[in-house]
Structure 1
Amino acid sequence: MRLGWAFILTGALATPASAQSDPLAPLPAQQPTGAPAQQAASAPAQQVLRAPVQQAASGFDGYRETLAYKARLAGVREATIQATIPYLRLNSTAIRLDRAQPGGASNPNAIPPFAPYKAKHVNSALIQRGRTRYRSHYARLLQIERRFGVEPQILMAIYGHETSYGSVTGNFDLVDVLATLAYEGRRREFFEEEFVAALKLLDRGTSRSRLKGSWAGATGYPQFMPTNVLRLAVDGDGDGYANIWSNELDGLASIANYLRDAGWKPDLHWGIPVRVPSTLNRAAIVSRLKAPRCEAVYRRHSQWKTVREWRALGVMPTRRSLPDHEMATLIEPDGPNATAYLLTTNYRAILDYNCSNFYALSVGLLGDAIAGD
């Protein structure tokens, strides 16, 4: 059952025509009676925060009131609430795309090979375009590295992976899709928090037209969710503004700030390709650690050992190496008899950005190629 939350409006609640077609509502929303509308019309301009109560409105119409209540609790300005929430539109495309996301493989052992994914995301076009930007921004990228401690090629690789270097940032209205996905309910608490954060960005002066992005609510060059825009967007070129929508240096610096916040260790590479001997006893290096999140992702990683210990087991670098004392874990994304990788703790910072081994590996490898490693 979907119940609304009562709140007082200075005018009658507007219901856009698109909101009438609600793919989640079992029945058409009831038309409100005249009495509540009269009460709303006579309400004082100063809004009163009220506890949630059951009311007649249902479906997405009623859920707008829930969002307004939560926005008030979070301190969003009443003017922003009034200018936004009555006009929210349900985005059926966002619902369809969200429902198409895998909820978990039916066969957890049926893992596709990494090689086809790598070929798509570490290709010559992305490498060349990344190198061009890497060279043009090199002096500023070194400043960002000194400030945040993150390798600049990793920043460029994430930028390339997320938005094809700014050319594909998404054109969905963030406010609408976040409200829609919160209403859908699969991850309601998460999307309600992101919706409120988007309203706070409006409060801070970000224009509604700038708040465009993916169907899932990610925005700007770094593809940040609104809570991360509020918390981690930074100025990268010294002009005093953190503009992640049209300023590449601000976007790259914000990615660096994110990775530092996720635990990136300065002067440490993300990982290296290695050759694994056929004699390696894989059963002896299975990790017994239980990850607090993304368990299936971390399950593919071995125990942690020093690089020196891996060498003693015959696991040898194919190009660059890592310091012998560094701790690393092994992953074989294409199984035995193919290229494997020793991964440092900085790989886990990339996983924090997007918890997928294929994503993190391709970011690391794209970054290496951009830097010419």
Structure 2
Amino acid sequence: MPRLFFQRLALSAAVISSLCTGAAAAPCGSTSAGYDAWKQAFSREAAAAGVGQRGLSALSGARYASRTIAADRNQKSFKYSLQKFMQVRGANTIVAQGRKRKARDAGFYAALEKRYGVPAGVVIAIHGMETAFGHFMGDSNVVSAITTLAYDCRRSDFFTPHALAALQLVDRGVISSGSVGAKHGELGHTQFLPGNVLSYGVDGNGDGRLDLTNQADALTSTANFLASKGWKPGKGYQQGQPNFAVIKQWNAAGVYQKAIAIMAERIDR
């Protein structure tokens, strides 16, 4: 039976977020020059929020992630037309491979849908889009990437709770100071941000631990995320249908949302 992890920690995320909006919050910056000073101030915030020694040590060892900043400033693909976006992201390949995966692991996906109400095509489309079905889950240090984004003024308010969540994950052994993920600190097969790991992470293979680089854990967590955001079992998920609003919770880019819905429908046929 899948186990939901960190339910009490999910509650602490709201507390963490409130701590980060106070007058004593570490000052953001737009270049690497202030990052080390920011880390010192952020370390005090993290300790006050309950982060332990392992998490604080990971923060101390973090480095300013220049590649993360470059990627954050240069997200051109989300400006493409839907047709161009799907071509660039390999939609036909994702659909073809997704159908094979659904047929091969029919029992697993049927169990997911029975438990969470989310059709196989949606979970599979997300898996294919995010990491090409686990073939590339990132090459950036998670703690460095997420703390760099928390420091950077562009979206500091959004990423600060995720940075604190990453340090909590280090504390609890879910990730380490050396764990790698995507350039924005996302983890595993479907690229969960650290705060979402705390809130929606599920031990999908029943081994007693949460590991988003394990496919069963990642896909079960993805279905749990969508269900928790209000997925309505049996209802449609294309534009204008009830569950499209839930797909929008997965990614803020309109072209990405539409692509997921279209590919999922093709996989589920």
Using the alignment, how far apart are the partners of 1:101 and 1:365 within structure 2?
Answer: 22
Deviations 1:180-233 (A, max 9, x none): 122222111222211110010011112426732111111111211100001101
Q: 1:87 aligns with which of 54, 61, 68?
A: 61
Once the two structures are superposed, the pairs formed by residues 4-83 of structure 1 within 5 Å of their partners are 23-25=31-33, 59-81=34-56, 83=57
CA shift, 1:259, in A, is 0.6
1:157, CA displacement in angstroms?
0.7
Deviation at 1:268, TM superposition (A): 1.0
With the length of structure 1 as denominator, give the TM-score of the two structures: 0.60
- Map 1:1-373; keep pairs closer than 5 Å: 23-25=31-33, 59-81=34-56, 83-101=57-75, 113-121=81-89, 123-208=91-176, 211-245=179-213, 247-271=214-238, 342-371=239-268, 373=269
Structure 1 range deviating more: 91-100 or 141-150? 91-100
Report how far residue 258 of structure 1 moved: 0.7
Matches of 2:116 and 2:32 in 1, distance apart? 44
Preserved CA contact (<8 Å) 2:149 2:155: yes
- 2: distance between equivalents of 1:123 and 1:85? 38
CA 1:60–1:119: 2 relative to 1, 3 Å? closer
TM-score when normalising by structure 2: 0.82
Q: Percentage identity across aligned positions?
A: 31
What code does the residue aligned with 1:348 have?
A
CA separation in 2, counterparts of 1:249 and 1:209? 23
- Supply the distance in 1 between the matched residues of 2:177 and 2:106 (Cα, whole angstroms): 31
Does the CA-based 8 Å contact 2:25-2:45 persist in structure 1? Answer: no
Unaligned runs of 5+ in 1: 6-21, 26-58, 106-110, 272-341
Summarize the Cα distance change of 1:147–1:92 in structure 2 as closer, same or farther, 3 Å threshold: same
CA distance, structure 2, for counterparts of residue 121 and residue 61 of structure 1: 36
Check conservation: 1:221, 1:251, Cα contact below 8 A.
Answer: yes
Aligned residue-pair number: 242
Q: Which runs of 5 or more residues in structure 2 are unaligned?
A: 1-23
Offset from partner CA, 1:250-282 (integer Å, 9 cap, x none): 2111111111111110011212xxxxxxxxxxx
Kept in 1, the 8 Å contact 2:143–2:177? The answer is no
Deviates more, 1:185-194 or 1:347-356: 185-194
